[in-house]
Amino acid sequence: MPSHRQVSINTESVDNYLKAILALSGPDERSVSSTALAQRLEVAPASITNMLQKLASAQPSYVEYEKHRGVRLSHEGKRRALEVVRHHRLIETFLYKILDYPIEEVHEEAERLEHFISERFEERIASKLGHPKFDPHGHCIPAMNGKMPKQRSVALAEVKADGVYVVASISDRDAALLKGLKANGIAPGVRLEVCRHAGREFLVRAENRVKVLQLAREAVSAIRICPSHYA
């Protein structure tokens, strides 16, 4: 991917805002509210407004922003966001598979490194790993041209029927939660039996495990699943 042009603000901050907008906009690329962005980034609303105005006025513009109407990524903003996501997920995979980092530590390391690697280094990592399509959390790695495969998974919280599913991905935003789920056999690619659910309560059992777990709301929100025939 070609390197992006600089704006007169911290590059790391730009990347973090663009990644957050990409994540919150979802596959249908809906507008993202300043409130949602402030919660995601843990930043004061006034700071959000100031940054969005700068991103909108940059050359080239990174976002399409109108106060009280939300924000969308421009073509350039989406391109850069996907580039940084690719960096992040390749680095996570390299740390996990090559350097044997614990799964709960790779996200923070990748957060620090994702802004600074060169295209050559990016390609060397991808080649060394065999050009993986998924990171250790089960998230799709954008292709070199910025294309992202369509997501077939759904949030565990949206499951309507009991049965056997496959864990597609687990959010990497909570290291302690990741560690706890892994300790109980819940990881990407694992078959997960939803034994019973009522409201927000989920009882599940990972394959080859006897113990039935009652998942907390945070865990249910962090897990995405697919029907078992996709495994």
Which of 97, 121, 149 terminates a domain? The answer is: 149
Tally of domains within the chain: 2
Name the percent of the chain in helix, strand, coil, to the closest 5.
Answer: 40, 20, 40
Residues 145 and 170 in one domain: no
Residues 45 and 144 in one domain: yes
Cβ(136)–Cβ(93) under 8 Å?
A: yes
Residue 180 belongs to a domain with what CATH number? 2.30.30.90
Residues 143 and 160 in one domain: no
- The pLDDT assigned to 126 comes to 97
Residue 197's domain spans which residues?
154-230
- Regions of the chain where pLDDT drops below 70: 1-10, 197-200, 229-231
Residue 77 belongs to a domain with what CATH number? 1.10.10.10
Which of 106, 133, 149 terminates a domain? The answer is: 149
| CA distance readout (Å), 30 to 10, 25, 85, 178 | 26, 5, 19, 28
CA–CA dist 141, 149 (Å, integer): 9
**Lateral strand order in the sheet of 201-206:** 154-155, 223-227, 163-170, 191-198, 201-206, 213-215
Record the pTM.
Answer: 0.87
Q: Which of 36, 25, 39, 3 is nearest to 148 (CA)?
A: 25
- The pLDDT assigned to 139 comes to 95
Name the phi and psi angles at 140, rounded to 5.
-65, 140
Which of 131, 149, 167 terminates a domain? The answer is: 149
Instruction: Please tell me whether residue 180 adopts helix, strand or coil conformation.
Output: helix
Name the phi and psi angles at 193, rounded to 5.
-90, 120
